[in-house]
């Protein structure tokens, strides 16, 4: 098994663990990437299990409208409950992204259903665009319900003031692909990674990486969070370009919801 394949297995297993309790990638998932002959345009052709990346009609990310949806509130209000305690976390560079995993902590209630935060990771530049504009980074907080359904909170990150909530992750950033740092008793305050105002775009989409599985509830916060230039540079240097291009909205509708019950 070469190093490239090992990274892909690592990611496939991580995704399988997130989306499906039964690991589905024991034989190793086919290699995929972000450019050239393994890039997003050809993901669907790389393996039968990636077919949804091309044939799907509810794919992510999408271009979000600058000012629409406030008059069409979501039927499904969401509540994000943040618990403050120390975690032991793993910070993983799997060759595609930098991911922080943990097995206890924050919870999201969406449409009356509880989802637990299982990992968060970053994309550079942002995957979702707003009015066609990218942001330097996008944070994805992946939440999973007991039945395996996913809800992902997306946070757009822009250049501005220093945000100390990201410092524990930056301090342990694995620079090389396939590198992992286990951090004991780190106080990662997810609350500090989120904007104070938490109204969100809500739409039904997919994983933004192969196998591009659909049925993911997306909640992209409308207010960006600021990071200073050095923090953005530190993340971007490790992440390279790992953003899937925006996908057609198709028949879907983007609505808005307040994450803490606020409209
Ligand atoms: Zn992501």
Per-residue pLDDT of the chain (263 residues; tens, 9 = 90+): 333 433 333 343 344 334 433 333 435 678 899 998 999 999 999 999 999 999 999 999 999 988 755 555 555 566 766 654 556 677 888 888 888 876 666 778 887 888 888 888 999 999 999 999 999 999 999 999 999 999 999 999 999 999 988 888 888 888 777 777 776 666 667 777 888 888 889 899 999 999 999 999 999 999 999 999 999 999 998 888 999 999 999 989 888 877 765 44
Quick one: pLDDT at residue 150? Answer: 95
Residue 152 inside a domain? The answer is yes
- CATH number, residue 106: 3.10.200.10
Residue 183's CB is within 10 A of a number of other CB atoms, namely 17
- Looking at the domain assignment, is residue 157 inside a domain? yes
Distance (Å) from CA 208 to ligand 1 centroid: 6
Four-residue CA torsion sign, 238, 14, 32, 250: negative
CA of 98 relative to ligand 1 center, distance in Å: 10
pLDDT score, position 190: 76
Position 260 scores a pLDDT of 65
pLDDT at 55: 97
Token representation of residue 101: 């995993």
Please tell me the predicted confidence (pLDDT) of residue 249. Answer: 94
Q: What is the pLDDT of residue 219?
A: 92
Has residue 40 been placed in a domain? no
CB-based neighbours (< 5 A) of ligand 1, an ion? 140
From 109, 136, 110, 143, select the one nearest 122 (Cα to Cα): 136
How many A from CA of 141 to the centre of ligand 1? 8
Instruction: Please state the domain count of the chain.
Output: 1
State in Å: Cα 142 to ligand 1 middle.
8
Q: DSSP assignment, residue 177?
A: T
Residue 26 forms part of a structural domain: no
What is the CA(235)–ligand 1 centre distance, in A? 14
Tokens of residue 175, six digits: 């620079």
Which three-class secondary structure string do you get for 7-71? HHHHHHHHHHHHHCCCCCCCCCCCCCCCCHHHCHHHHHHHCHHHCHHHHCCCCCCCEECCCCCCC
- Asked if residue 151 belongs to a domain, the reply is yes
Asked if residue 33 is part of any domain, the answer here is no
Answer yes or no: is 46 within a domain: no
What pLDDT is recorded for position 78?
66
Dihedral sign for Cα 88, 91, 92, 96, please. Answer: positive
Q: How far is the CA of 124 from the centre of ligand 1 (A)?
A: 10
At 13 the pLDDT is: 37
Give the up-direction half-sphere exposure of residue 140: CA atoms within 13 A in the CB hemisphere.
Answer: 27
The confidence score (pLDDT) of residue 156 equals 97
The CA 254 to ligand 1 mean position distance, Å, reads: 19
Cα 186 to middle of ligand 1, angstroms? 23
Q: Residue 251 domain-assigned?
A: yes
Domain assignment of residue 84, given as a range: 58-258
Distance from the alpha carbon of residue 16 to the mean position of ligand 1, in angstroms: 14
Cis peptide before 107 (omega within 30 of 0): no
Q: How far is the CA of 123 from the centre of ligand 1 (A)?
A: 6
Q: Ligand 1 center to residue 65 CA distance, Å?
A: 20
């Amino acid at each position: 098994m070469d190093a490239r394949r090992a990274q892909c297995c690592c990611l496939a297993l991580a995704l399988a663990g997130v989306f499906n309790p039964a690991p589905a990638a024991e034989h190793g998932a086919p290699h995929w990437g972000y450019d050239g002959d393994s890039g997003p345009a050809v993901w669907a052709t790389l393996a039968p299990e990636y077919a949804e990346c091309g044939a799907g009609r509810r794919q992510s990310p999408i271009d979000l409208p600058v000012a629409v949806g406030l008059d069409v509130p979501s039927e499904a209000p969401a509540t994000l409950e943040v618990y403050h305690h120390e975690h032991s976390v793993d910070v993983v560079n799997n060759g595609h992204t930098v991911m922080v995993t943990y097995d206890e902590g924050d919870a999201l209630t969406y449409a009356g259903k509880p989802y637990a935060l299982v990992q968060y990771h970053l994309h550079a530049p942002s995957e979702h665009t707003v009015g066609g504009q990218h942001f330097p980074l996008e944070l994805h907080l992946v939440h999973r319900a007991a039945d395996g359904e996913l809800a992902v909170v997306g946070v757009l990150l822009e250049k501005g003031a220093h945000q100390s909530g990201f410092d524990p992750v930056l301090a342990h950033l694995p620079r090389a692909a396939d590198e992992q740092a286990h951090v004991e008793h780190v106080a990662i305050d997810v609350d500090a990674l989120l904007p104070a105002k938490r109204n969100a775009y809500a739409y039904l989409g997919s994983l933004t990486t192969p196998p591009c599985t659909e049925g993911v509830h997306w909640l992209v916060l409308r207010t960006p969070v600021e990071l200073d230039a050095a923090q953005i540079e530190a993340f971007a240097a490790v992440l390279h370009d790992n953003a899937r291009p925006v996908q057609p909205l198709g028949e879907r509708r983007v609505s808005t919801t307040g994450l803490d019950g606020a409209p």
